[in-house]
Structure 1
């Protein structure tokens, strides 16, 4: 045992360090296990982000070369992103400590796609802002009219979600002493506290996930991502304004969309496309890093203090903690995403346990 506390050092309420002295001589070792974030404390798993990138990259390439062929794919991706973002906002209530779940950093690609479709459709020969009205008399215009309408609606919704997320992230930066729960199956069976190799003591608390215990850590990652979200969304809005100007004002030929420079078509939301793809790559990197490392302040070897309520002495065992891995991040993020579904997602017994705890 590397940490020697005074005999009267409080391990928990009514429990002192002296009640565990006899256990240290036994040098008990518990089975190694993982430590994962509690619901709301995990960022988008890198595998999910990779899937987003794999869907968006072909869409971006098609939009750059022949934008008419990517309309339905772009609309589908935008609708999916809207649904997920709204769900994260509802489940987390935009709490600063759960920024990793609700940060709307993946919206830029879809906003760029929507503004491109609206502007270029309305500028096609014979098209204008009255396309919906004229589509009633010209059935061939119906498809373009509906695509332009949905692209406009989705674009507005995405922009509102983005700005709202920016405002809430900026407010969250003013919140002090943020904490986040990290949980492990080994933090149960009368576990009272955990000490790390740095001699930091953390009390074991109940998790919102039934049958697992947690320790409460400073939310340093969340504080960093609040700042990063504000910076990234601010840059995204600037990029989107420039893309509107690029798609709308760059010179065009008589057909309206074939101006090229060295074979590259200019009238595309290039900043949103490159910026959005870069954001996804960054999220993949940080998602993998977070999944493969323990949170700051937690060492890979910890000591768990256990004591039954009626026992006079307690037991201490050292445990080797593993990083959450992809599985742990998926559990933490998905639990945060669907928390508002209540018993539909958690099941009735878990909900009863949470209400009893509250």
Structure 2
């Protein structure tokens, strides 16, 4: 079985396309601004996967964390002279007399290397990009010169300076459908026999966590749908990762991370996501069961027609009898002339339950986990 982080970056369409685009850029000797979301899942696996794909083409990767490497004090290019060049070469550099980018290029210090910079504070991004642009412009005619990957969080970053620099944005490749596909695969591995519950869990987790497939995965591992409500599951995952810095930023152009909503008292917005996932799964489920019930009890139901629905429309066709009307026909109050629909006790309870669920969702209310489990248990189908 493929490990979940490898599954995301190697096998899911959007993430794999993003990774392949990075590799293609690097093999073309393009310097790269990698614009990723704040809570990009499994970043280390992305870097490793790119390295694995590219190293067969003699690309030697050097990963540098901006805050840990002393780059702030030295400047990027000066730091690379002292750390990547041998002492004999590096010792010949004269600060203030020589240009760092020209010295790096003339001595081939970065040739064949990919310098992957990460952990850059937003306020330092532009200064880093300027230095990369200087080096890129100095080496624009070289096929052996080193290349840079500058990993940034700002989705609308602009390049200052000239040079052979391209930008890749993760959001242009990865969509919520990728998270849903990923969630379906992970949910299918849960030890439960009811496929409807797995379908619900896939929609629920992907709708709640959006692009953050890593926390989507953790939610699917932690959430016990038999005993907990979705907010309880989110709280459990948050408690595990609250010190990781995940979901601490407010976004301007994308949906907020559920951790941010949870800690800022905006649980109502999380409930909207839960509601949306329930609509995706429960409406089709109820519709399928309604059709099955009509087909099974068609002879008795025909005796109840025609009937006027709540909108004043006369219903004469079996398939036009909605779940609310089916529920009414089981107990036709306020009508002495209406024929009652007689069904077995199991079907009676299922119709009433489906009508209740349909009514709650139609009024933008969410259903409890217990209600959903009862619905799937009482109205068993092989798939939704």
Q: TM exceeds 0.5? A: no
For Structure 1 versus Structure 2, the TM-score category normalised by the shorter chain is under 0.3
Bigger Rg, structure 1 or 2: 2
Q: How does the TM-score come out when normalised to structure 2?
A: 0.24
Q: How does the TM-score come out when normalised to structure 1?
A: 0.25
Task: Name the structure with the higher strand share.
Answer: 1
Which structure would you say has the larger RCO, counting Cα contacts within 8 Å and 6 or more residues apart?
1
